Structure 1
Amino acid sequence: MSESANNTGIGTGTGSADTVAARLEKLRDARVVVTGGGGLVGSRLVALLREAEAEVTVLDRLDAYPEAAHTLFGVEKLGADVVVGDICDRDVVRRLVTGADYVVHAAAYADVAACTRRPDIAFRANVEGTQVVLEETAASAVRRLVLISSAAVYGDGDPGIRGPQVFHEDQQLLPVSVYANSKLWAEHQTRLLLGGTTGTEYAVLRYFSVYGDPQIPKPGSHSWMVAWLSMQARLGRPMQLNGGGVQVRDLVHVEDVAAATALALVEDGMAGQTVNVGTGVPTSVREVGELIAPHFPRSRFVTTPRPAGDPLGGYAATERCRELLRWAPRIDVRAGVERYVRWLSDTPQAVPEWLTESAA
């Protein structure tokens, strides 16, 4: 895959009638609610939906990051109605989804380490909150809900296989973290509540490792390795390779993820389906560090223990994504990492104060 590939329906230049933008014309004047729409993926998704002339409402607590990190994502500037609120607030959720055509449920306590430390918060956000959204969506005339899940549901995959594994949507799921378990529950509950006679379709997307500007790390987290490693190198600190960096990730750029999510709202074949959103290319954590290192001449590595709940990982089977979404990602990891490092160099103020202070 190449960053210069045409942004077409299947990523191979099938003609202007099949571009993502052309296919999203179905959303013109549609009302779309995006829970968690103030974050990295959510803000990119909202931008695509607004370009398609959809009416977008965002429901987000806007407290996922310390300091003013949400201003980097800039969802307030996209022409959406931004409601600062909680998905556990049934009255707010009911008010927003009533009359909506589509719902993207992306709001979650979306951090493996944080969910491990505070499973009570993870339960409230990822289980109780999801239940509220599903119940209110089922009670409304919503056409389709897209649930954002995670490749974390695969855990370490088949324990009998050594080396990088490809994860298929229909394989056995063995989550190894609180976060992953909450996402798997959300998938099952979505099928139970929306898979019958409610009149609302559903689609489930399992995101692999999302990265891209303006992503920034959270304190106490070991997720978002492109951001973590890049900022460590920029601050002159050694890049930490948890467990030696042997873990495999399928790094998929945020622009590609947003496009896939928008298409999941309109593609007929996605009704009732679960699809991986990844590139199908395995990349180890160490390989990511080695892509970053040339941009920072004094960079170096240090090996640290692998955190609890951090999966060995794998990469996405993409056949179902290509078939049902009629789409493939267009930004490969080398181009994406270079773009991120360039953004970080141009935007040094994006390094959060808590990280700068810890470096000092």
Structure 2
Amino acid sequence: MKVLVTGGAGFIGRWVVKRLLDHNHSVWILDDLSNGSLKNIAEFENNPNLNIVKGDIKNQELLQQLFLNQYDLCYHLAASINVQESIDYPKTTFDNDTIGTFNVLEQCRKHNVKIVFMSTCMVYDRASNDNGIKEIDPIKPTSPYSGSKIAAENMVLSYFHAYNLPAVVIRPFNTYGPFQKSGGEGGVVAIFIKNSLNNKPLYIYGDGTQTRDLLYVEDCARFIVKAGYSDNSNGEIINAGLGRDISINELAKLIVKDESRIQHVKHIHPQSEIQKLLCNYEKAKHLLNWEPQVSLEEGIKKTEEWIKSDI
């Protein structure tokens, strides 16, 4: 197939691209490199099936040109993903995550290309029990990031219903692993591991009782790719996660072993914190025959080995 991956030079994007290339598809990456990096995809640069285009999903002329390649499938991963930045600069996040998605959708509609839209678990309200969050559970936009993603989700699903465009919304839970940035906000596992290796304190926002369902990146990429391949996914919203949550306090202890190096600091955006994130992935199992294969302990070990090799 011919496949477009927006945001393909990003952390999750590069694993999706790797999987698609392993399956011998012709892959185009569109990335403005604001969040992604050519370093992430350096190992594929000599692959004759890979085409790299530096550009922005807000550039409609560029998208029109690209879609002349007659893609079979579009994985739309490009987005602004930083919660605090969305609070500080909501227009940037809305322009990238909602309007950018609309631009990609329009081209998919004109050329009848299936779109896999990467949303986020951050659209949900907190998990109310230990059965995990299902796709039909309440959503709660607590930041412009989650608000922009919900708006884009609704547009994607509207194109499925209005135009019969093959489209799926995916909501992976907190993804971690090799190639994730270990600075700034977002990659809690990568940040903790790097600080642990560098004998620095592990800083936790708030009291650390908030929980996360941590999904290893290769499991996440396998899920994303499967959602594109399967007709069962069309018109659906589908979660993916480990099905196990861990408090940030427990995660820090798992990584650093020495509790004296764990420090709690004031939360920068407590209003946008989700206290309990736990995924119910039964729908992905049923529709896509997908389930996670890498345990949290194994995933942390693999991530630590990669960070060590990159330091």
How many residue pairs get matched? 306
Structure 2 equivalent of residue 53 of structure 1:
24
**Quick one: which of 283, 300, 303 aligns to 2:261?**
300
Structure 2 equivalent of residue 194 of structure 1:
160
**Quick one: which of 167, 172, 186 aligns to 1:207?**
172
**Quick one: which of 118, 132, 138 aligns to 1:148?**
118
Query: Is the CA contact (8 Å cut-off) linking 2:201 and 2:263 kept in structure 1?
Result: yes
From the superposition, tell whether residues 70 and 248 of structure 1 become closer, same or farther in structure 2 (CA, over 3 Å). farther
Query: Is the CA contact (8 Å cut-off) linking 2:9 and 2:40 kept in structure 1?
Result: no
From the superposition, tell whether residues 286 and 141 of structure 1 become closer, same or farther in structure 2 (CA, over 3 Å). same
Higher relative contact order (CA 8 A, sep 6+): 1
From the superposition, tell whether residues 113 and 155 of structure 1 become closer, same or farther in structure 2 (CA, over 3 Å). farther
From the superposition, tell whether residues 164 and 111 of structure 1 become closer, same or farther in structure 2 (CA, over 3 Å). farther
- Structure 1 distance, partners of 2:283, 2:41, is 30
From the superposition, tell whether residues 181 and 105 of structure 1 become closer, same or farther in structure 2 (CA, over 3 Å). same
The answer to whether structure 1 residue 83 and structure 2 residue 53 are counterparts is yes
Query: Structure 1 vs Structure 2: percent identity of aligned residues?
Result: 26
TM-score w.r.t. length of structure 2: 0.93
Structure 2 equivalent of residue 119 of structure 1:
90
Output one character per residue of 1:196-251: Cα deviation in whole Å (capped at 9) or x when no partner. 334x20011101000001211343x2x11001111222222210111121111110
Please give the residue correspondences for 1:3-152 in structure 2 after superposition, counting only pairs within 5 Å.
Answer: 30-64=1-35, 70-74=38-42, 77=45, 79=47, 80-98=50-68, 99-142=70-113, 144-152=114-122
Q: CA deviation at 1:195?
A: 2.4
Query: Is the CA contact (8 Å cut-off) linking 2:122 and 2:146 kept in structure 1?
Result: yes
From the superposition, tell whether residues 266 and 101 of structure 1 become closer, same or farther in structure 2 (CA, over 3 Å). same
**Quick one: which of 277, 283, 298 aligns to 1:320?**
283
Q: CA deviation at 1:346?
A: 2.5
Is there any run of 5+ residues in structure 1 with no aligned partner, and where? 1-29, 349-360
**Quick one: which of 167, 186, 194 aligns to 2:133?**
167
The answer to whether structure 1 residue 246 and structure 2 residue 194 are counterparts is no
Query: Is the CA contact (8 Å cut-off) linking 2:93 and 2:144 kept in structure 1?
Result: yes
Computed over aligned residues only, the root mean square deviation of the Cα atoms, in angstroms, reads: 1.8
Runs of 4+ aligned structure 1 residues displaced above 6 Å come to: none
- Structure 1 distance, partners of 2:276, 2:109, is 34
Query: Is the CA contact (8 Å cut-off) linking 1:47 and 1:78 kept in structure 2?
Result: no
